[in-house]
Chain A
Amino acid sequence: MTHTRDPVGEHRRELLRQMLRIRRFEEKCAELYSAAEIRGFLHLYIGEEAVAVGALQALTEEDNVVSTYREHGHALARGVPASSIMAEMYGRATGCSRGRGGSMHLFDVGRRFYGGNAIVAGGLPIALGLALADRLRGDRRVTACFFGDGAAAEGEFHECLNLAALWRLPVLFSCENNLYAMGTALAVEHKETDLAVRAATYEIPSWPVDGMDVVAVEEAARHAAEAVREGGGPHFLELRTYRFRAHSMYDPDRYRDKAEIEAWKRHDPIDGLARRENVTRDELELIEKEVAAEISEAIEFAEAAPLEPVADLTRFVHSERTGAG
């Protein structure tokens, strides 16, 4: 037992723990999907954990997050409890979206987590609006908006980059470039495959980041988020990463080379960090134990959770006003 404090080492161990939580949580989700406890579409983030964990280090609790349908990692890293995420995937009343949303639509507005959006690029305009409201009120918040490389082909992407730049909105565009939009490779989707270059044409400061290195992601995100917060207008990070699993549980993954997948797995963000930080086997085991306990608790919570009564089916279509009028 050593008593010398090493804040950098401690912080990096915390990053490792966060990534492992996401990894193990999602591995469990895949199992539960096969067991038909989780249904619908399930998009795993496995391989991309460094992006969510690194980027969200740069935010405070006051900042806003907008995400996609591949958002378990963002939600966990944001502090949405594993139990309420799991209960949501079980379709339970105590799920973070009361069973209405499922895997693709995790919401936790108390943590300023504005959801999983399953319309590709559909979150960008909302992020602009969150940021605009903050600006109008003089709140010094940053809105982090996550989306994929595929989203960069949508009109909404271009409309939003232009508008955010034009109005100098405090948005941190966080593009998760995992080289594929479902089965369509980057070069089949885009003429200019350097997405940071495209963002730069809107006069948005933008640069590529090694999305398999959580420390690099954190550093870039801190730098960008500070600039956004200081009134520097929107910033754009192209986070270069890779999903180790198929697009969704429906996807037979016919379009990727096994060798390509294996090559990327050698850059596993979790193994990489553990190696670079000389994390011992014992330390890892301790983290694994802790993570496993959290996940089994989450599953127990979800299994014991009540279903929303069918009588409440049409609740939340309109707001429930209390009092007169």
Chain B
Amino acid sequence: MNAVLKTTYREAVRAALREALLRDERVFLMGEDVGRYGGCFAVSLGLLEEFGPERIRDTPLSESAFVGAGIGAAMNGMRPIVEIMTVNFSLLALDQILNNAATLLHMSGGQVPVPLVVRMTTGAGRQLAAQHSHSLEGWYAHIPGLRILAPATLEDARGMLWTALQDPDPVLIFEHGSLYNVAGELPADTGAVGIDRAAVRRAGGDVSLITYGGTLAKALDAAGELSGDGIEAEVIDLRSLRPLDDATVIDSVRRTHRAVVVDEGWRSGSLSAEITTRIVEQAFYDLDAPIERVCTAEVPIPYARHLEEAAIPQVADIVDAVHRVVGAGG
């Protein structure tokens, strides 16, 4: 029997960072307060003491400069991991991410690959209001040239980073802020995981619940509740938001004939719209009911707890949506 390790999502990310720093001397971590402070969510706590200030680099509040510097260092043989505190602040570096990281390889006719990894938190649920709570990973998933990952489990928090570092192109990793304290067990010999395929986190034959990141746990809770009502939901964790693993999604929908997409992003012009469209494009005749989406209300995330709760997808919303699609059609 394999030994197991009690850990948290936060510790799993930290272990992944440690492993990368130990295994590859080209790897370094930089971002605001990653060193002395230990990371704004305490992810990199202790790494400065272990690896020193050259490899655990505290940066000034200069998102555009240090993300861009990460791009340049990646172009020049290093394997930087850049941490941005929160996706809302990544907008100050959006120019570098889109106009340089995602674009240089193509624009240079294949001469300039950018093997950069950027990690950042995303998502709502902690009453941090509109400038700290948005889920903009869907925007980034719009951009050709980027790979977008959303680790929702301890295993992925631990295993995606190393695989991302092997990618010759830029990878953005979105860690939902509500996940850091999630505790659980991992095999002691846990390590790198694949990043190409979505995962079926719960099998079921009545409806496909398609989600990722911070809403995976809610979808699983909803599936548990629905099971009590005699509805077996299959829960798919997308894991990679770009490229999307259509095959896993379509295969599931072909079996369940019904789909609900759950996304903490806004609905209009969104990732959930993209997933829905792909199902319609590839499995239209397999559907027995219109697809439903459970998304965040079209509003900047408000501070007040009751308003924030009402704004973002909740278990009850998912359960209701499933009842609608199961009740509908043939």
Supposing A119-B88, A308-B307, A313-B297 touch, asked if A255 and B36 sit within 8 A by C-beta, the answer is: yes
A155 contacts the other chain (CB 8 A): yes
Considering residues B38, B63, B129, which has the most beta carbons from chain A within 10 angstroms of its beta carbon?
B129
Judged by DSSP, the binding face of B is loop
Q: Which of chain B's residues 20-68 have a Cβ closer than 8 Å to chain A?
A: 32-33, 36-38, 40, 58, 60-65
The main secondary structure of chain A at its interface with chain B is: loop
Chain A residue, CB-CB nearest to B129: A102
Q: Mark A165-184, 1 if CB is under 8 A from B, else 0.
A: 00000000000000001111
A112 to B132, CA, bound (A): 24
Q: Do A91 and B305 touch (CB < 8 A)?
A: yes
Residue on B nearest A151 in the bound complex, by CB: B61
Q: Which residue of B lies closest to A188 (CB)?
A: B58
B131 within 8 A of A: yes
Interfacial residues of chain B within 257-298, with CB under 8 A of chain A in the complex: 297-298
Q: Are B299 and A314 in contact (CB under 8 A)?
A: yes
A184 and B88 CA atoms in complex are apart in Å by: 20
> Is B127 an interface position by the 8 A CB rule?
yes
Task: For B37, give the chain A residue with the smallest CB separation.
Answer: A183
Pick the residue among A119, A181, A254 that contacts B89 (CB under 8 A). A119
A269 interface hit (Cβ, 8 Å): no
Determine if B128 is an interface residue (Cβ-Cβ < 8 Å): yes
Q: Which residue of B lies closest to A97 (CB)?
A: B303
Q: Complex formed: what's the CA distance from A151 to B297 in Å?
A: 32
Does A55 touch B at the CB level, under 8 Å? no
- Using known A-B contacts A150-B60, A307-B304, A307-B306, determine if residue A118 contacts B129 with beta carbons closer than 8 Å: yes
**Does A99 lie within 8 Å of B303, measured CB to CB?**
yes
* Cα separation A100 to B128 with both chains bound (whole Å): 10
- Of B38, B64, B88, B127, the most chain A CB neighbours within 10 A belong to B127
Closest B residue, CB atoms, query A247: B37
Q: In the complex the two chains form, is B62's CB within 8 Å of A255's CB?
A: no
The answer to whether B304 and A92 have CB atoms under 8 Å apart is yes
Cβ 8 A contact of A40, one of B65, B303, B307: B303
Q: Mark A103-132, 1 if CB is under 8 A from B, else 0.
A: 011000000000001111110000000000
Band of interface residues on B: 35 or more
Q: How far is the CA of A182 from the CA of B89 in the complex (A)?
A: 15
Q: Contact: B300 with A104, CB < 8 Å?
A: no
Is A153 an interface residue when CB atoms closer than 8 A count as contact? yes
Bound complex: CA A308 to CA B129 (Å)? 15
The answer for the CA separation of A155 and B68 in the assembled complex, in Å, is: 13
A91's closest neighbor in chain B, by CB? B304
A185 to B88, CA, bound (A): 23
In the assembled complex, A244 has its CB within 8 A of some CB on chain B: no
Task: Tell me whether A91 and B307 are in contact (CB under 8 A).
Answer: yes
Q: Contact at B33–A184, with CB atoms within 8 Å? A: yes
Known interface pairs A308-B304, A313-B307, A313-B311. Does A153 touch B61 (Cβ–Cβ under 8 Å)?
yes
A314 CA to B299 CA in the complex, in Å?
Answer: 6
Shortest CB–CB separation between residue A257 and chain B, in angstroms?
12
Q: Which residues of B contact A307 (CB under 8 A)?
A: 304, 306
With a cutoff of 8 Å between Cβ atoms, the chain A residues found around residue B36 in the complex are 183-185, 188, 254-255
Write out the residue numbers on chain B whose beta carbons fall within 8 Å of the beta carbon of A183.
33, 36-38
The answer to the question of B302 belonging to the interface, with a C-beta cut-off of 8 Å to chain A, is yes
Chain A residues with Cβ under 8 A from B6's Cβ? none
Asked if B92 lies at the interface with its beta carbon under 8 angstroms from chain A, I say yes
B129 smallest CB distance to A (angstroms): 5
User: Once the chains bind, are B60 and A184 in contact (CB under 8 Å)?
Assistant: yes
Q: A105-B303, A190-B60 are in contact. Are A155 and B92 (CB under 8 A)?
A: yes
A310 within 8 Å of B (CB atoms): yes
Instruction: Please indicate the chain A residues that have their CB under 8 angstroms from the CB of B126 in the complex.
Output: 39-40
Residues on A with C-beta less than 8 A from B40 are 182
CB-defined contacts of B328 to chain A, threshold 8 Å: none
With an 8 A cutoff between CB atoms, is A41 at the interface? yes
The docked-state distance in angstroms from the alpha carbon of A153 to that of B92 is 12
Q: Is A62 an interface residue (CB 8 A)?
A: no
B32 partner residues in chain A, CB cutoff 8 A: 181-182, 184
Given contacts A102-B303, A313-B310, contact A154 B37 (CB under 8 A): no
A74-112: CB near B (< 8 Å → 1, else 0) gives 000000000000001001100001011110110000000
Q: Which residues of B contact A35 (CB under 8 A)?
A: none
6 closest A-B pairs (Cβ-Cβ)? A183-B37, A91-B304, A102-B303, A153-B60, A99-B304, A40-B127
List 8 A-B pairs, Cβ < 8 Å.
Answer: A40-B127, A153-B60, A181-B32, A183-B33, A188-B58, A188-B60, A254-B38, A313-B310
12 more contacts with CB within 8 A, not counting A154-B92, A181-B61, A188-B36, are A41-B132, A100-B302, A102-B129, A118-B131, A119-B89, A153-B62, A184-B37, A190-B60, A255-B37, A310-B306, A313-B297, A317-B299
